[in-house]
Chain A
Amino acid sequence: MTGAGAALKRWETLMFVLLVAIIALNSLDSRYFLSIGNFVNLFQLSIEKSIVALTMTLVIIGGEIDLSVASVMGLAACVAAWTFQHGAPMPLAVLLALAAGIVAGLNNAFWIAYVGLPSLAVTLAGLIGYRGVARIFLEDRAIGGFPEWFNQLGQQPIIGPLTASIVIFFILFVFFAVILHSSALGRMIYAIGSNVQAARYSGVRVGLIKTDLFVASAFVAALAGVLYAARLGSVRGDMAEGFELDIITAVLLGGVSIFGGKGNLAGVGLAILVILNLRNGMGLANITGNTQNYVIGGLLVFSVLAPNVWQDVRNTWRGREI
C-alpha cells in the first residue's frame, strides 16, 4: 500500500471538500460572496503572501525553511523607495530592489549550503538583519509619491478584472509547478528533502540546489515586496512584518511536510484559497480576527497531525496483526 501517498491524496481531497463547503456556506451567508469582484478583492488582499508561498513550498519540500522572506519583502520595498527618493528613476529603483533580494538570497545560501548551518538559524538571523537594514534606510518615515504607472501596477486591473500581481501569481504558479513536478531540478528538490545524504551519494549537487532554492525564495520575496509597495502606494520600514508565518502556514496547510520531501503545489494553491475564503467568510459573518486566527491555527495543527495520526493508527494495527 502506498500509505503516505494515499494519505496525502486524502488530505488534498479533504482540503477541496473544505473549500467547497466554505464557499457554499459563505454564499448562503451573504449574496455578495459569489461575485467575481469579491473573489478578486479577496485574492488581491494577500496576493503578496500567496506569491511568496510558491517559493516557500519549494524550500520546505527541499527540507529547509526560509524565515527571512517577510524581511526581504520589506527590504526590497525600502530599497526601491529610498533609491527613488534619492533621484533614481522608478524602473532602476525596482531593479535595485530585486537585486537586493538576490543578494539577501545569496547570503542565506552561502551560510546554509556552503558553511552548513541550519536554515532555521540562518534565516532567523536574516529575518532580524534584513529588517534592520530596511529600517536603517527609512528610519521612521513613510515614503510615497511614486509614479502613477507604479501605483497602478498594484491596483489597476490589466486582464479582465485581474491586477498585475494576480497575473504574476498565476504565471509563477505555472512556472514553479513545472519546475517542481516536471523538471530534473524538481526531482532533485524532492530527493534532497527526502534524504540529503542519499541525494549526495547519488551525485546530486546539493549545495548548488540549495543555493537555487534560497536565491529563488529571496528574489520572489523581493518581487512581492515591490508589488506590495505598488499596491499600498507608500513604504514603511515595518512593511510586511510577520508575513512569514502566514506564508508558512499556507504551505503546511497545503499538505507539504515540514520534514521535507513531500507535498505539491496544487495542495498549497488549495490551502491559499481555503484560508482566504475562510477568513473572508468569517469576516462577513462578523467573526473577529482573533477567532479567525484560532480557527486557522486549529486547521494547521490538524493538517500536520492528520497524516501522522493516520500512519500511527495503521502501524498500531499492523503491530497487532503480527
Chain B
Amino acid sequence: MSDPPAQLIVVDDDPINRRLLASYLEREGHAVATANDGRAGWELVRSRPFDVVLLDVLMPEMDGYQVLERIRGDEDLRHLPVIMISSVEDMQSVVRCIELGADDYLPKPFNPVLLRARIAAGLSRKRLHDLEREYLEQVEHVVTAASAVEAGTFAPDALDGVAGRDDALGTLARVFSHMAAEVQARERALKRQVQELRIEIDRTRADRQVEEITGTDAFRDLQRRAAELRSR
C-alpha cells in the first residue's frame, strides 16, 4: 500500500505562479492547497495539518516573513518545514528568511529538479519529526500508565495503541500491560480473600486442647502457685 499523498500548501499572490506551482506539485503526486495572500495562507496553515509550506516572500496583507515568523512562534507549527519561493534574489532577503527559520529558499522561476529535491527533503524532515513526536507521546502513555498502576486506576486497554508497535517501545508496552494485568488479577484475588476473611475456630477441638493442657495436676499446681505468688 502506497503512502497517502503529502499535504502541501502554496501561498503566493501571483495567480500564474500559484497555478503553475500547484499543478506541477499535483503532477508529482502531492495534494495541494493554495492561498492568495499571507493572511489567507496563515489561516489555512492553522486550520488543518500540512507537511510542507511553500511561501512567497512579497505579498499584500501579510508578507512571507510575517507568516514564517508566526509559524515559528506557534507551539504546534514550529517544526513545519517552510520553503521560501520568491523572485527576490538579493542575499539580504535569503539571509533574513534563514534567520527567521526557513528550511530552504528557492528562486522564481522554479527549477523543477531542485524543487523536487527540496520538497523531498522537507517531507522527510517532517516525517522524522512526526515519528519523534509520536514516539515521545507514546513514551508518555507508558509513563502515565505506570502512574495509573501505582494509583490503582490502570485500564487494561490503556496501552493498546503503543503495544501495536514493532519496536522496543512496543515490546515494553506489551510486557508492561501483561504484568500490570497480572498484578491487578492478583490484587483482585487478594481483595476477594479479604472479604472472605472469617476467623473460623473449631471450638470443640480448641476446647479439647485447652482441657488437655489445663486438666492436668501439673497445671492445677501451676495455677495455684501462680495465684499464690501474685497474692504476695
- Answer yes or no: are A and B bound together in one complex: no
